[in-house]
Amino acid sequence: MLGNLRGALSQFEWTVLWSPYYALILVGLYILYAVVTEKLRRPDEPETTLGQKFSMLAALIVFYIGFGSPLDLLAHITFSAHMLQMVFVYMVAPPLLLIAIPEWLYKRLFDTPYLGRILRFFIKPLIALVVFNALFTFYHMPFIFDYVLTNYTVHRLFHGTLIFLSMTMWYPIIAPVNEADSLSDLKKMVYIVANGVLLTPACAFMIFSQSFQYQAYQDPATFAKVLAYCMPNNDLSGLNLERLLGTTDDLLEDQRFGGVLMKLGQELVYGLFFGLTFFTWVRRSKSTAVDEGMSFTPKAD
C-alpha cells in the first residue's frame, strides 16, 4: 500500500502536493489575527496570551495538513485518506482555533447585530450537537458524497459549512465567554459522550458495509472529475489515471479502515477533552468542599 501511495504521489509536481498558495493564505490569516487582537483591543482588555498565539499557529498548521499538504490530494485518491483529513479539520483544528480567540473578541462578535444573534443560536448545545453531526452524517451518504465531490463549488461550501458547524459544536466544551454561558462540567461530559454517540452511525456504516459505497473512488469518469479539481486548470495530462485509480488494492477494506480512522480519531480527541473536563470537575468539587469546611484528609484517632 505504501509503495502504491509513493508511486501515485510521484506523478504530481510539488506545488500540487504542498499548495504554496494555501500556505500564503494561512500566513495572511495569522497576520490578520495578530493585527486584530493587538489593534482592536482596548486598554482595559487583557492581552492575547502566548498560549493563545501558539494555539492559533497550531490550528493553522493543522488546517494546512488537512487542506494544503499531500493529504488533501490523497483524500481525492483514497477514501481512508479522506477520513483522516476529516479528523484533522473537524476534530483537531476547531478547538485549537477557539482556544486562540480572546474572550473580549467573542463578546464583540456576540454584540454585533444579526451576526451575534446567528452565532448565539448555533452555539446552543442542543443545536450545535445535532446540526453538526447530522450534516456530517448526511455528507457521507454515498449519493450525497459523490455529488459533493464532483461539484467544486458545492464541495467548498460543504467544507466551509462543516468547519463553521464544527466550531459551534466545540464551543460549549472549551470556549465559553463566561461561566454564565458555560455548561457545567458534568453536562460537558454528557455533551462529549453524546457527540461520540451521534457520529457512530456514519462510522458504523463505513465499517460494516458489505460493499464499497463511493463512486468517486471506483468509477473512472467520476474519479477523473474529482481529481481534476486538484490540478492547475483541471489539466490531467501527464497523469496515469489507471495507476492512480488502482492505488487502493482493496476498496472495501480501505472504506472500513477510513471508518475506523474517523472513529478512533474522534474518540482520542473527545477522550482528551473528557479527561480534562473530568479532572476540572474533581478539582472544583474539592475546592468547593474545602470552602464549605469539609476535609478530604482522614482524622487521626
What pLDDT band is residue 181 in, cutting at 50, 70 and 90? low
Give the separation between CA 79 and CA 85, rounded to whole angstroms.
Answer: 10
pLDDT digits (tens, 9 = 90+) for 55-113: 999 999 999 999 999 999 999 999 999 999 999 999 999 999 999 999 999 999 999 99
Residue 3 lies in a domain: no
Residue at 292 is within a domain? no
pTM here is 0.93
Is 286 within the bounds of a domain?
no
Q: Give the angle subtended at the CA of 73 by the CAs of 71 and 74, to the nearest 5°.
A: 60
In a domain, 110, yes or no: yes
| Cα separations in angstroms, 178 against 77, 96, 127, 181, 200 | 44, 18, 20, 6, 31
Asked if residue 261 is part of any domain, the answer here is: yes
Angle formed by the axes of helices 251-291 and 152-174, nearest 10°: 20
Across the range 148-161, mean pLDDT stands at: 96
Backbone angles phi, psi at 124, to 5 degrees: -60, 130
pLDDT tens-place string over residues 13-31: 999 999 999 999 999 999 9
Q: What is the pLDDT of residues 270-292, one digit of tens each?
A: 999 999 999 999 998 887 766 66
Q: What is the mean pLDDT of the chain?
A: 92
Quickly state the pLDDT bin for 125 (edges 50, 70, 90).
very high
Residue 41, pLDDT > 60, answer: yes
Please check whether residue 265 lies inside any domain of the structure. yes
Instruction: Confirm whether 263 is domain-assigned.
Output: yes
Residue 285 belongs to some domain of the structure: no
Q: Residue 92's domain spans which residues? A: 14-233+243-280
pLDDT at 128 over 90: yes
Residue among 99, 93, 94 at smallest CA distance from 52: 99
> What is the total count of domains within the chain?
1
